[in-house]
Structure 1
Amino acid sequence: MLENGEEFYPRIFETIAAARNEVLIETFILYEDKVGKRLHEVLMAAARRGVQIDLTVDAFGSPDLSDEFISSLTGAGVRLHVFDPAPRLFRRVNYFRRMHRKLVVIDGMRAFIGGINYSADHLADYGPEAKQDYAVEAEGPIVTEIHRFMHQAIRDGLPRSHWFQRRHAVPKIPTPPRAGNADALFVWRDNGQHTNDIERQYRVAIRLARKRIVIANAYFFPGYTFLRDMRKAARRGVEVCLILQGKPDMAIVQTAAAMLYHYLLRGGVKIFEYCDRPLHGKVAVVDDEWATVGSSNLDPLSLSLNLEANVLIRDRDFNRQLSDKLQHLMNHSCKRIETQDLTESTAWRQVRSFFLFHVLRRYPSWAGYLPAHAPRLASLPEAAIEPDGADRLDDKAIQ
């Protein structure tokens, strides 16, 4: 378990510095701040000693990388891929269907999965807006699954050609031996055959819960069936605790979640708002064994549009470790929301109830009718960066 950038970044940079053969990274956000520059430094050093590096970033989440930052990476041999590339003027227009995963695999032997991007706002010294978040470092057979998935994502996203097939063949590596007693499952959401895998695993765990459920999620606005499962669990005697943003990074996040408060509180769900700083985590524990950590929020974007990845862990020690961290948040950094704290009018509650029943109960099935597009990557060779510093991608690189 790795909490916040203080624990996550040193492990990532240390592991990349020790890499011998290969580094795979996917991230939604890569900023050219002190964290991004440190990542750049260790990737450059690894590439120069012959390590093969594939770095995939989202064009919407990482729109402002300079020519120098990019060209120095590609010049050193880093294969830089941009998800859904667009000209600078339009990079922040397409908000939907983003590559939101945060994954790392080193030498096919060690993987990192979670919600932490490469930006200084995941460090406490960033100030009051520093984010609270989590990631997992994993060894064992699950790493092979994530390694295969990341290579396949590159192959599926880039144009097919004979040269491409030879350059981006999925390498076959020996499966690492079991590294401990935990069972783990890698799950993802895409716009193809795995549109609801993460949500389904959450709902199965909630339905099987017997004692306790704690969900900490930054952006919470799931479908009606998810909310109904939470209420049913509470009504059969399960302690159901929900940790949400009390100091949101976007005001609409708290407004949307608050629309659900009456419905959940009446069903026996306990709601806590984390008030120390923005909550960015996407984690949960159920009973004494089940836990999940990943990139997927429980909102329309993550559950129906974005590309996401979580790891499910069945292990008492890990469950206890994450449970203790979440309990500490509830005890020391959260405000518990009670029914008397909700002051909106009865008329507004009736409007909201109508919305919840007649609209939200149909979500996320209606999201499938929205336009979808296949993942598209642009590989950026050194020649794709214009020498005049205009920060534009060569047409050939994005076709």
Structure 2
Amino acid sequence: MVVIAVIAIIFVLIYLDDKLGQLSFRNGRKKVVYPERRSDIALYVNGRHLFADYFAELHRARDHIHILFYIIKSDETTTPFFQILKEKAAEGVKVRVLVDWVGSLGLPKALIRSLRASGVEFAYTRPPCFPFLIYRLNRRNHRKITVIDGRIGYIGGYNIGREYNGKDANFGEWRDYHLKISGEGVYDLQEQFLHDWEEATSKTVADKHRYFPELPAGAIRHQLVATDGSALEEQYIHAIRHAKKEIMIGTPYFIPSRPLFNELMRALKRGVRVTVLVPLKADHLFVREAAYPYFYRMLKAGARVYRFYQGFYHAKTIVIDEEWCDVGTANFDRRSLFLNGEINCYVFDRAFTRLVKQAIERDLTRSEPLTLDFWRNRSLLDRGKESISQLISAWL
């Protein structure tokens, strides 16, 4: 009885921490909608190609390198990455690295000390603290931003580590979508990085004008949107509401809010073709099962749901009517909607949107369709996980 009482008290304290934390942070949640810009944008869907280009651009840096990732690993893929940063700092390049405390908790302290000793400025974003410890642990900075000399920027789903380079046998090929931006949009990536850096370090960055060179307009019209646990739901609802023919969603985690899911169902009812692509294997407990109840209703309404089997699918993208697409860091789940700091790039360009759609269609050829028969015949274990997942879906 004592053990049960202790467990009950712990759960009550966690519940109170979460609810009071939500109330406390409600007014502090914000969105930043940057102006519409024009940039040249390249799409990367393969980690090897992305990192080859990324490391080459880091080598070419002459003034500064600003990096924010949710996860940076310490392995054979990141060893040359850290070496580049140390070399550039030794050359006099200003190098700042910001990582999420939870996401990059495994970074060795000796590595961090060596970076700092080389002149690299390193900081954690959102370390846990009181009050509302549990709630704060759940509010992660999930953004992935790199800015090089204020002229080249990267944003998307890739973190840095061996699995993202396709070298982890447990995952195989890591499928993700990442953007390289040159042009006006880099200004906004820089603005967001500096905001996150100052928030994490409580220090004002001096001589800011050096980080904002004059930038040329590119060919592709787009807009960057940074969210922090609010506004993303309504933006997605607005986009889905205006779909006329087709909606394609690629995401590793499909756990939408009720209003967002209802909007998808309304789109199906008015004849919009809805396709969802998710991974076959899961990288976290219960996330796959949490999607099943939504998929069941969508399949009955005529949606197509596919599960990527050739590796792990981690892309975060939406394509609507070959006119608008979204590539960024936000998953199609409640954590990205209501907890995490995210940044997405909305592209208003038919040619680039078709390029993203073609990437999704290629991935569909390496995916299996989810059927109602499969859902009806899933195992008792899967049914049990599904029940548990519904209870904790807000935290998955």
Correspondent of 1:247 among 268, 276, 281: 281
Instruction: Name which of 216, 225, 229 aligns with 1:177.
Output: 216
Matches within 5 A, 1:197-212: 198-212=232-246
Shift, 1:199, TM fit: 2.9
From 182, 194, 211, the counterpart of 1:139: 182
Q: Distance in 2 between matches of 1:215 and 1:166?
A: 38
Contact preservation (8 Å) 1:248, 1:279? no
Structure 2 gaps of 5+ residues are 1-42
Alignment match, 1:342: 375
The one-letter amino acid of 2:90's match is R
- Determine the C-alpha separation between the residues in 2 that align with 1:101 and 1:222: 19
- Kept in 2, the 8 Å contact 1:231–1:268? The answer is no
- Distance in structure 2 (CA, Å) of the matches to 1:125 and 1:82: 26
Structure 1 match to 2:94: 52
Q: Which runs of 4+ in 1 moved over 6 A?
A: 91-94
Structure 2 counterpart of 1:340, which letter?
Answer: D
Alignment correspondent of 1:272:
306
Q: C-alpha distance in 1, partners of 2:60/2:356?
A: 28
Determine which of 219, 226, 244 is the counterpart of 1:188. 226
CA distance in 2, matches of 1:92, 1:122: 28
Aligned counterpart for 1:292 among listed residues 314, 319, 326: 326
How does 1:348-387 map onto structure 2 within 5 Å? none
1:283 matched to 2:321? The reply is no
- Secondary structure, counterpart of 2:250 in structure 1: strand
CA distance in 2, matches of 1:166, 1:286: 39
Give the aligned partner of residue 119 of structure 1. 161
Distance of aligned partners of 1:93 and 1:148 in 2 relative to their CA distance in 1, 3 Å threshold: closer
1:108-161 Cα distance to aligned partner (Å, 9 max, x none): 1111010100111012233341321110001111110111111122122323xx
Tell me the CA shift for residue 260 of structure 1.
1.2
Question: 1:172 offset after TM fit, Å?
Answer: 5.8
State the partner residue of 1:228.
262
What amino acid is aligned across from residue 117 of structure 2 in structure 1? G
Equivalents in 1 of 2:335, 2:193: separation in Å? 21
Report the AA paired with residue 13 of structure 1.
F
User: 2:74 matched to 1:32?
Assistant: yes
| Contact kept in structure 1, 2:65 and 2:149, CA below 8 Å | yes
TM (norm. structure 1) is 0.79
In the TM superposition, 1:23-102 aligns within 5 A as 23-85=65-127, 95-102=137-144
The residue identity in structure 2 corresponding to 1:40 is F
In structure 2, distance between residues paired with 1:149 and 1:125 = 31
Contact 2:68 2:146 in 1 (8 A): yes
Distance 1:304 1:344 in 2: 33
Contact persistence 1:28–1:99 (CA under 8 A): yes
Question: Are the equivalent residues in 2 in contact too, given 1:60–1:92 (CA < 8 A)?
Answer: no
Note if 1:9 corresponds to 2:43.
no
Q: Deviations over 1:335-390 (max 9, x none)?
A: 11222222169xx99xx99x99xx99xx98xx9xxxxxxxxxxxxxxxxxxxxxxx
Contact 1:218 1:280 (8 Å CA) reproduced: yes
Q: What's the CA shift for 1:292?
A: 1.0
Alpha-carbon contact 1:231-1:269 (below 8 Å) kept: no
SS at match of 1:50: coil
Q: Could you give the per-residue CA deviations for residues 164-199 of structure 1, whole angstroms, max 9, x where no partner exists?
A: 43647575623411121x1111111115xxx22x33
Q: Which moved more, 1:78-87 or 1:150-159?
A: 78-87
CA RMSD of aligned residues (A): 2.8
- Cα contact 2:145–2:155 (8 A) shared by 1: yes
Q: What is the identity, as a one-letter code, of the residue corresponding to 1:122? A: Y
Q: Secondary structure at the match of 1:126?
A: coil
Name 1:394's counterpart in structure 2.
Answer: none
Q: Which runs of 5+ in 1 are unaligned?
A: 368-399
Residue type of the alignment partner of 1:176: L
Amino acid at match of 1:338: T
SS of the equivalent of 1:260 reads: helix
> SS at 1:104's partner residue?
strand
Residues 277 and 94 of structure 1, relative CA distance in 2, 3 Å threshold: farther
TM-score, structure 2 length as denominator? 0.80
Assess, with a 3 A threshold, how the Cα gap between structure 1 residues 187 and 281 changes in structure 2: closer, same or farther: same
- The structure with the largest strand share of the pair is 2
Q: Contact 2:126–2:200 (CA<8 Å) still a contact in 1?
A: no
